[in-house]
A and B are shown apart, each in its own frame.
Chain A
Amino acid sequence: MSGVVAPMTGVDPHRKSRDMIPSSDIREILKGIEALAPVIDALHEDDDLFERGLSSFDSVQLMLALEDRFDIEFPDHLLNRRSFSTIRLIRDTVASIKTARAA
């Protein structure tokens, strides 16, 4: 697992580097959500976004923004609270779709 270009922490070492989504891209999108904007810089990768003020309305807006930004479509089975509850899970969800598409 050495030699992988991974400036981020906590990335699943089995995931291929080309599927990696920079956290900064996701943070940029989260900044657009009013409830999260004031706390975004203090958010850790594993903080529960719903606990930090993300509403279910916001979560749909977040999904739409992610679909647009990464040119993907979330299938129904990934449209649940858990998939979008932390920055890390969002990154994993987006990456899993990009991987599936590349395969």
Chain B
Amino acid sequence: MNAPLATPIGSIAQRARRVAEVAGLHAEAVDRDGRFPEEAVEALRAERLLGLQIPRRFGGEAAPLIEVADVCTILGQACTAAAMVFAMHHIKLASLVTHGLDSPWHRALMERVAREQWLIASSTTEGGVGGDLRNSLCAVETTDGTFALSKDATVISYGAQADVILATARRNPDAPTSDQVLVALLKDQMSLERTSRWDTLGMRGTCSDGFRLEARGVPVEQILPKPFAEIAAQSMLAVSHLLWSSVWYGIASFAVDRARVFVQGEARRRPGQVPPGALRLAEVSTELQAMRGTVVAGLNRFAAAQADPDDLGSMGFSVVLNNVKTTSSAMAVEIVQHALGIVGLAGYKNGTPFSLGRALRDVLSAPLMINNDRILANTANLLLVQKGSGQLLSA
């Protein structure tokens, strides 16, 4: 709240690199202790990067998604937990910016996020439906202009640290499980009782604990006016796939950088010989380039679709974005593994300049966050009616 209101000096990427420096200093402790990357998030606030996407008239910078994605990559090279927190915050913010402009309450919320650099978390996962985003069991119960919500939220990433949580719920207690709304809950409007700890192989600093979420007496204006089905289809899924992929690209490029430095060191030690790892480095650099192409093409496709709601809701668009997620998550894992093969034991060992253990553990989450099989099943269904594959330069 004491952060200066003026935009800090430098381009968005320069501001992100200053945050990455701070994040990198604490990345090991964040991973080891499974703790929230608070220094990195404070640095994000100081650089005013939490309001990037918000329109200028509400105090933001109206940054296009591709610039937010670039920040995800820069942070992903330093501290993946900080990068993922930043990505998840901006995924929720994209929903607000895309679907909340008609609602005075949500416009005011955007102003506060920009001014006070509030951190937004998401509560979609629920006991009984698991990670199935498009179904909820809990329901909004409305009486006299206010509502109550009680949710068995089995995962809320950084729920304990967030200033705002956007939660899915059925529209009312009689609604089918797929008739959902998205409600914004401020920290002082809800209670969170921790029900499970996030003790995982990697991505440990996202602190994705389970909580019993209880809120009552919340004004109904805080329910986003658009059905969640539309929010999920038009902004949330696409933005998730793209920003997550950008974080994974950060991890993959970090690993390739370590492999490159390693091979270059070998080359200097034995002048006149091409080190054995050099060929493998060439190989992994083609994979990294292909991954980057996939992510950037997805970001460009997203930007092109912004002007056309029918395109955003089209099957062709969903197929492209689904494929970006499954491809980039699988490639990121392979790239880190290949980099480890080049670096060898120096990468396997912790505490060396070439350690890749944390990167490998973190990146293994990529195919599991919205499991690739779930996404492939969705794409398989869409392909039953899709007609053409498009041209080189058009979808």
Contacts and interface: CB of A to CB of B under 8 A. Distances in A.
Contacts of B313: 80-82
B309 A82 contact: yes
B315 A52 contact: no
A56 B386 CA distance: 13
Interface residues of B, number: 24
Interface stretch (A4-12, A23-31, A68-76): A68-76
A76 B316 contact: yes
Interface string A44-60: 00001011111111001
Interface string B208-248: 00000000000000000001011001000000000000000
B125 to A, nearest CB: 18
Contacts of B378: 56-57
A80 B314 contact: yes
Given A35-B176, A56-B233, A76 B314 contact: yes
Contact of A60 (B176, B230, B309, B381): B381
A35 B178 contact: yes
B270 interface: no
Nearest to A55: B178
Given A63-B385, A76-B387, A81 B227 contact: no
Interface residues of A, number: 24
Nearest to B309: A82
B179 A76 contact: no
B199 interface: no
A51 B229 CA distance: 7
A67 B227 contact: no
A75 B229 contact: no
Contact of A53 (B179, B385, B387): B179
B392 interface: no
Interface of A: 35, 48, 50-57, 60, 63-64, 67, 73-77, 79-83
15 contacts: A50-B230, A51-B179, A56-B233, A56-B378, A56-B381, A74-B385, A76-B386, A76-B387, A76-B388, A79-B316, A79-B387, A80-B310, A81-B230, A82-B310, A82-B313
